[in-house]
A and B are shown apart, each in its own frame.
Chain A
Amino acid sequence: MAATEPKGHGQHAGMWVFPDATLMTAEMGEKTKAMPRAFTLGLAVAGILFILGIVGFIARAADNGFDEIGPWGYYMAIFSMVFMVTSGAPLAAVAFRFTKSHWRRPLSRVAELFSIVGILNLLMFIPLMFLLPDIANPGEVAEGSLAVRRTIWFEGPIGAPHAWDLVGVAFLTITSMAILWLSAIPDMAECRFTATGFRRTLYSRLSGGWYGTKRQWNSQKAGLALLGAFYFMILVFMHFVISSDYAQSLIPGWKDSIFPVIYTITSLQMGLGAILVALFIMRRWGGYEGYIGKSTFWSASKVLLGITLLWVYHLFAFFITFWYGRMEIEQNIIKYLVTDTYAIIFLLNLIFSFAAPFAVLLWNPVRRSAWGPALAGVMVLFGGLMFNIRIFVGSANAAPGADLFKPIMEHVPAPVYPDIWDVFMVIGGLGATVFIYLLATRVLPVMSLWEMKEGTLYQKWGKFIRGEYLILGKPE
């Protein structure tokens, strides 16, 4: 183990770890190559679920085709869930790097690796492109019907929304992969001479002429900052687009300016939750306890608590604005998505996206542990799944056929329960995410070597009068 004993006294016992930079590369290389039994078992289970998901998809396509969006509600939900996690997690890496915090170092690469799962996400999106109804009313514009349904694209420029959505999702995936690549260059360069097999070829090709000169480091820093800002902007935009096109605009009369914001916040919450779960697994079973101190959990869980509170706040803002006015369409939306049709799913959503993680994260000793934030992470992931089912199954089945072009949703539809293919697709999506992520951890070191080594330069343990405390360097 490259690490020294964890430091910290009193309530902060064991908070900080100070890994040995000289041993880091070799250890990380070994761990990347290793295929321990538990890991292969996890990979196998995830792979089986992935296959089940493909089976479910093919069966659904055979049964219903791609004409009506209604039967694909659960597919939309799992696409959205994977989209939220894979887009939200890299944002955590970008945001915490932007704030120059030191505790983020262990989680940077863990977060960025989710962008590889973004490729799956892009592939999952393609059928959705065909499923999305056109903006223009294909049938006769009857009395009380709209010629063009209400979307963020208004009259609909050429290709809207299908092509634009695809281009947007592709852009998002490419940008997150670019951030991963740029961030991984120094690590790949460092490992290219000791790696063997396909890793050696890959690292040599992808790290190019990196030798760690001052100029190269400065360019990498600037590039990460610029790409990070660009990623943030395109993420917010694509969340706005996907949440509007595949949810809001499919429920006639649902005019909700805060929904894209709720969508983004749920995505950030789930992304951070996934990162915390991954960090816990790495620390507990992956042998990374010398690299991931409790300080990372302590600080990240504060952010998760804040996001959780923000989530319920935005939900309440939506709810009370709709509830108060007593307008028929708004009352119908509330009945559909909150109190009647999907009431149980909403309750589970509220409990697992807010009440339970809040109850867990409120306590200082729990936030200081590794298991507490990870437990909250699992809860918010489940809560997010409930959110996506409620919204996307709801929107896919809100207004079948010509009802989609009515100005408002006049009747509150009944709930749509999943059949076996829906269950396969949902667990398949989750399994596929885990499967691809686990594979990705065998390709690249799961911890950012250069950031961890940089951290050892700026984080020390030192004496102050009669006590010993953390010394944090502040280079800028």
Chain B
Amino acid sequence: MQEGKPLNSKQVNRELLVSILNSPKWFFGALAVLGLIVLIAMSTAGFMINQGFGVTGLNRPVMWGFFITNFVFWIGISHAGVMLSAILRLSKAEWRRPATRAAEILTVFSLMTAMTMPLIHTGRPWRTVYWIYTMPFVPYDYARGIWPNVRSPLVWDPSAVYTYLTSSILFVMVALIPDFAVLRDRTTGMSHRIYGMLAMGWQGNARQWKLQIIAGVLLSALILPVFVSVHSIVSWDFGMAVSVKSWHSTIFAPYFVVGAVHSGVSAVALVLIILRYIYGWQNYIRHEHIDALARLLIVVATGWFYFFVMEVIFGFYGREADEIAVRNLQFTVSPWNIWMMIFVGMTYFLPVSIWLSRSLRRNLWVMSLACIFVNIGMWLERFLIIVPGLARKQLLTFDWYTYRPTSVEWIIIVGTFALVSMLMLTIARVVPLIPLYDIKEGEILRTEIKIGRVTVPAVFRED
């Protein structure tokens, strides 16, 4: 599992800090393009808020469409951080080293992006402020005698997402302290002062390193339950509803969580391949890492497929007319059934067939395509859960309708992708996206065992 050549600290510093200390020519151009797309999306959102929801495809009974799909999608992507960082750290997998930081940062930005979706979906976002922040601390609505449903999953949602966001940010910041110290030592002027403040006087003595390692393990163990709860609670936005039959399924919680891990880890694999290409990190993001990610994805994808099958089987199990109506729409009516086939193919069969082949796992172009397919498929999955369920809500057949998204929704969705990409690019200028000390630790713990004529790579282990 250790295919790369040995690296010394100076080389690691020089190569991994290239995104911060150097300014490649393409950077500002790429940032400008992405920034433009984000601006267009923000203007479109402003237009929508000004004109009202009539400019979107949302209408009774499909009150939740692209925006909520996108919300769930980005929450899903955010699960990659904890999966790779926490679970692989706890299982002491050596191949996690280059992936953890990028995954954690992707988590933070995708969570932030996800949270913009319900905000614009309120249609009148200033009312959110009225709920919480009005002087003299009596929320506007409550003051007029309109009481909130404090037992609703829509209240559990922000508590979970904010907990996950706060925890992820704090986790990243603590893990960044040693790398801020490296940047403090490599920069001058204002950057030096800012990195110095962020490094908090880090020296790198044994006590500080011991606490860093403990922080990694302890925080991983604490964040893992939060990670499981976040997407479960998002799934319960749908699962608690009894009026939309296909949503009221007990399996939604683990189904969504495993789906989130699937889409998130695929997204991280794609991000790593892109980073390897744009920053020349072939020594750090090696074929063995992408290979390991792909093998992990086979297991995750198969777990996801099991949950998907359970959800569908038990959907038909009850043989209730309203649920059968939804399933009919999903599986037999065009174009929904075509989307369904594309979704299942792109999420499971196509990528897993690719990942079963060692040579294809190590082909970065093919892997990128497979990861993109997974994410398209997972976006479609959320869409096919939310919209057909609403389109065939209950047996009120007079109320059955369909959903046709408008350009307003498309632009805002594309804008969220541009936002995350833009934020990732920007942060790559500020913090190293591969943890320096983690890579250096992997180098010093490297050793070999001789068995007969063969030399087997090995690692030193403390526990």
Residues of A within 8 A of B (CB): 12, 15, 99, 150-152, 154, 236, 240, 255-261, 298, 302, 309, 313-314, 317-318, 320-322, 324-327, 457-458, 460, 462, 464, 469-476
Residues of B within 8 A of A298 (CB): 463
Most B C-beta atoms less than 10 A away, residue of A240, A257, A298, A325: A257
CB distance from A249 to the nearest CB of B (A): 9
Residue from the list A257, A325, A473, A476 in contact with B458, Cβ < 8 A: A473
How far apart sit A302 and B248, CA to CA, in the bound complex (Å)?
Answer: 33
Query: Is the CB–CB distance between A473 and B456 below 8 Å?
Result: yes
Query: Is the CB–CB distance between A236 and B459 below 8 Å?
Result: no
Decide if B10 is an interface residue (CB 8 Å cutoff): no
CB distance from A303 to the nearest CB of B (A): 9
Give 12 A-B pairs besides A458-B451, A458-B456, A464-B460 with Cβ atoms closer than 8 angstroms.
A152-B317, A240-B310, A256-B250, A257-B313, A257-B317, A258-B251, A258-B254, A302-B90, A317-B250, A324-B240, A325-B248, A473-B458
Residue from the list A313, A321, A325, A473 in contact with B457, Cβ < 8 A: A473
Residues of B within 8 A of A457 (CB): 449, 451
Query: Is the CB–CB distance between A472 and B459 below 8 Å?
Result: yes
Residue from the list A12, A313, A320, A474 in contact with B459, Cβ < 8 A: A474
Residues of B within 8 A of A464 (CB): 447, 460
Query: Is the CB–CB distance between B236 and A320 below 8 Å?
Result: yes
Residues of A within 8 A of B241 (CB): 325
Known A-B contacts A240-B310, A457-B451, A460-B449; the reply to A321 vs B236 at CB < 8 A is yes
Interface string of B231-261 (1 = CB under 8 A from A): 0100010011110000011111110000000
Closest 3 CB pairs of A and B: A257-B314, A257-B251, A317-B253
CB distance from B446 to the nearest CB of A (A): 10
Can you list 12 contacts pairing A with B, beta carbon distance less than 8 Å?
Answer: A12-B463, A151-B317, A236-B306, A255-B314, A255-B318, A256-B250, A257-B311, A257-B315, A257-B317, A258-B251, A313-B228, A473-B449
How far apart sit A236 and B447, CA to CA, in the bound complex (Å)?
Answer: 40
Count, chain B residues at interface, CB 8 A: 42
How far apart sit A410 and B251, CA to CA, in the bound complex (Å)?
Answer: 24
Most B C-beta atoms less than 10 A away, residue of A151, A236, A322, A471: A471
How far apart sit A255 and B313, CA to CA, in the bound complex (Å)?
Answer: 11
Residues of A within 8 A of B310 (CB): 240, 257-258, 260-261
CB distance from A331 to the nearest CB of B (A): 12
CB distance from A267 to the nearest CB of B (A): 15
Decide if B438 is an interface residue (CB 8 Å cutoff): no
Query: Is the CB–CB distance between A474 and B458 below 8 Å?
Result: yes
Decide if B1 is an interface residue (CB 8 Å cutoff): yes
Decide if B207 is an interface residue (CB 8 Å cutoff): no
User: Which chain B residues (173-222) contact chain A, with CB distance < 8 Å?
Assistant: none
Query: Is the CB–CB distance between B318 and A152 below 8 Å?
Result: no
Decide if B163 is an interface residue (CB 8 Å cutoff): no
Query: Is the CB–CB distance between A471 and B306 below 8 Å?
Result: no
Residue from the list B240, B314, B461 in contact with A256, Cβ < 8 A: B314
Decide if B316 is an interface residue (CB 8 Å cutoff): yes
Query: Is the CB–CB distance between A474 and B311 below 8 Å?
Result: no
CB distance from B454 to the nearest CB of A (A): 9
Residues of A within 8 A of B1 (CB): 474, 476
Chain A residue nearest to B249 (CB atoms) is A257
CB distance from A221 to the nearest CB of B (A): 15
Query: Is the CB–CB distance between B456 and A154 below 8 Å?
Result: no
How far apart sit A317 and B253, CA to CA, in the bound complex (Å)?
Answer: 6
CB distance from A385 to the nearest CB of B (A): 23
Query: Is the CB–CB distance between B248 and A474 below 8 Å?
Result: no
Most A C-beta atoms less than 10 A away, residue of B250, B310, B460: B250
Residues of B within 8 A of A324 (CB): 240
CB distance from A320 to the nearest CB of B (A): 7
How far apart sit A470 and B463, CA to CA, in the bound complex (Å)?
Answer: 8
Chain A residue nearest to B458 (CB atoms) is A473
CB distance from A405 to the nearest CB of B (A): 13
How far apart sit A314 and B257, CA to CA, in the bound complex (Å)?
Answer: 12
Decide if B443 is an interface residue (CB 8 Å cutoff): no
Residue from the list B447, B460, B462 in contact with A12, Cβ < 8 A: B462
Query: Is the CB–CB distance between B94 and A313 below 8 Å?
Result: no
How far apart sit A259 and B236, CA to CA, in the bound complex (Å)?
Answer: 17
CB distance from A230 to the nearest CB of B (A): 13
CB distance from A154 to the nearest CB of B (A): 7
CB distance from A51 to the nearest CB of B (A): 40
Chain B residue nearest to A240 (CB atoms) is B310
Known A-B contacts A152-B313, A256-B314, A258-B251; the reply to A327 vs B242 at CB < 8 A is yes
How far apart sit A471 and B461, CA to CA, in the bound complex (Å)?
Answer: 6
Residues of A within 8 A of B250 (CB): 256-259, 317-318, 321-322
How far apart sit A470 and B318, CA to CA, in the bound complex (Å)?
Answer: 55
Query: Is the CB–CB distance between A313 and B232 below 8 Å?
Result: yes
Decide if B319 is an interface residue (CB 8 Å cutoff): yes
CB distance from B102 to the nearest CB of A (A): 23
Residue from the list B252, B307, B459, B463 in contact with A15, Cβ < 8 A: B463
CB distance from A316 to the nearest CB of B (A): 8
CB distance from B214 to the nearest CB of A (A): 11
CB distance from A191 to the nearest CB of B (A): 24
Known A-B contacts A322-B250, A473-B456, A474-B1; the reply to A154 vs B462 at CB < 8 A is no
Chain B residue nearest to A262 (CB atoms) is B250
Residues of B within 8 A of A460 (CB): 449, 458
Decide if B283 is an interface residue (CB 8 Å cutoff): no
User: Which chain B residues (416-463) contact chain A, with CB distance < 8 Å?
Assistant: 447, 449, 451, 456-463
How far apart sit A464 and B2, CA to CA, in the bound complex (Å)?
Answer: 19
Decide if B280 is an interface residue (CB 8 Å cutoff): no
Query: Is the CB–CB distance between A462 and B90 below 8 Å?
Result: no
Chain B residue nearest to A468 (CB atoms) is B460
Chain A residue nearest to B444 (CB atoms) is A464
CB distance from B226 to the nearest CB of A (A): 12
How far apart sit A151 and B461, CA to CA, in the bound complex (Å)?
Answer: 51
Residues of A within 8 A of B306 (CB): 236
Query: Is the CB–CB distance between A321 and B249 below 8 Å?
Result: yes
Known A-B contacts A255-B317, A309-B225, A471-B447; the reply to A325 vs B242 at CB < 8 A is yes
CB distance from A386 to the nearest CB of B (A): 21
CB distance from A136 to the nearest CB of B (A): 15
Residues of A within 8 A of B253 (CB): 258, 313-314, 317, 321
Residues of B within 8 A of A260 (CB): 310
Query: Is the CB–CB distance between A321 and B461 below 8 Å?
Result: no
Residues of B within 8 A of A258 (CB): 249-251, 253-254, 310
CB distance from A360 to the nearest CB of B (A): 16
CB distance from A209 to the nearest CB of B (A): 25
Residues of A within 8 A of B311 (CB): 257
Residues of A within 8 A of B240 (CB): 320-321, 324-325
Known A-B contacts A236-B306, A457-B451; the reply to A150 vs B457 at CB < 8 A is no
Chain B residue nearest to A476 (CB atoms) is B1
Chain A residue nearest to B156 (CB atoms) is A320
Residues of B within 8 A of A462 (CB): 447, 460
Query: Is the CB–CB distance between B251 and A261 below 8 Å?
Result: yes
Query: Is the CB–CB distance between A314 and B254 below 8 Å?
Result: yes
How far apart sit A414 and B44, CA to CA, in the bound complex (Å)?
Answer: 61
Query: Is the CB–CB distance between B460 and A469 below 8 Å?
Result: yes
CB distance from B387 to the nearest CB of A (A): 20
Query: Is the CB–CB distance between A471 and B460 below 8 Å?
Result: yes
How far apart sit A152 and B315, CA to CA, in the bound complex (Å)?
Answer: 11
How far apart sit A314 and B235, CA to CA, in the bound complex (Å)?
Answer: 13
Residues of A within 8 A of B456 (CB): 458, 473-475
Chain B residue nearest to A15 (CB atoms) is B463
Residues of A within 8 A of B225 (CB): 309
CB distance from A56 to the nearest CB of B (A): 34
How far apart sit A472 and B92, CA to CA, in the bound complex (Å)?
Answer: 12
Residues of A within 8 A of B314 (CB): 255-257
How far apart sit A475 and B456, CA to CA, in the bound complex (Å)?
Answer: 6
CB distance from A281 to the nearest CB of B (A): 25
How far apart sit A99 and B295, CA to CA, in the bound complex (Å)?
Answer: 11
CB distance from A307 to the nearest CB of B (A): 13
Known A-B contacts A317-B250, A476-B1; the reply to A458 vs B449 at CB < 8 A is yes
CB distance from B307 to the nearest CB of A (A): 8
